[in-house]
Amino acid sequence: MKVGQKIFRYDSLTSTNEVLKELAQDGFEPGIVVIGGIQTKGRGRLDRTWESPEGGLWLSVLMDATPVFHDNKFGVIPLMASCAVARSITALTELEARVKWPNDVMINGRKTCGILGEILDLEKGLAIIGIGINVNNSVREGYDFSPVSTSIHEEVGREVSLEELEHVLLDELDRRAVQITEGSSDDILEEWRSLSDTLGRNVRITTTTCEIVGIAKDIDENGSLIVDTDDREVTVLAGDCEHLE
């Protein structure tokens, strides 16, 4: 099913990821989308709270991730979502949106969008992509090393149509979901590299167990970040990333 062929809309809900999980358990197919006007329990990475007031685009997509599960490349899913968001923002506003590892979208160095990818059912090949974009809502200080968070409205200086953004984004997501189904995840990695704001920078990565400082050299086939430190090359699967300069 095409991404967004069936959309479930709520004025207010706990979290689009949670509602999508329930719908998947009820047997709805990959491609369905849940959109909420407000989330009362929006979740970010590492179990953080994600502020989700009116005016933002808060949505989740149920994905058929069978090919990436087989190849152990789940990390490609959130990367593809950040590329789709960056392209959609640029298409609507002409702002240069860039992607920051692991899966944020930035405008002028400020975080505009966060993505929460979750594995739902390995056997059935199901994954969830949760996407939160600050569009016309006001934002508070960034919590995860983004010097400041921002909204599209703040950066472009006018209101942006949520409907238009949703429409363009679902198309962009569908295009890349097809690429993943066809086994072309290398094209997604290449696109991410070309949109990257992280590669080539001096970064500090904080994981649950350690801190790594060095130059962000590349991503591997699973989307893990390869960091050149003074004495060795380290591959990081997950963590917070701070751009040091």
Write out the residues near ligand BTN by the rule CB under 6 A: 15-17, 39, 42-45, 48, 50, 52, 58-60, 104, 114-116, 130-132
Rank residues 37 and 67 by Cβ distance to ligand BTN and give the closer one: 37
Rank residues 67 and 142 by Cβ distance to ligand BTN and give the closer one: 142
Rank residues 109 and 183 by Cβ distance to ligand BTN and give the closer one: 109
Rank residues 131 and 139 by Cβ distance to ligand BTN and give the closer one: 131
In whole angstroms, how close is the CB of 238 to ligand BTN at the nearest point?
12
Residue sitting closest to ligand BTN (CB):
114
In whole angstroms, how close is the CB of 229 to ligand BTN at the nearest point?
25
Q: Rounded to an integer, what distance in angstroms lies between the CA atom of residue 129 and that of residue 61?
A: 5
Rank residues 48 and 175 by Cβ distance to ligand BTN and give the closer one: 48
In whole angstroms, how close is the CB of 47 to ligand BTN at the nearest point?
9
In whole angstroms, how close is the CB of 191 to ligand BTN at the nearest point?
20
In whole angstroms, how close is the CB of 230 to ligand BTN at the nearest point?
29
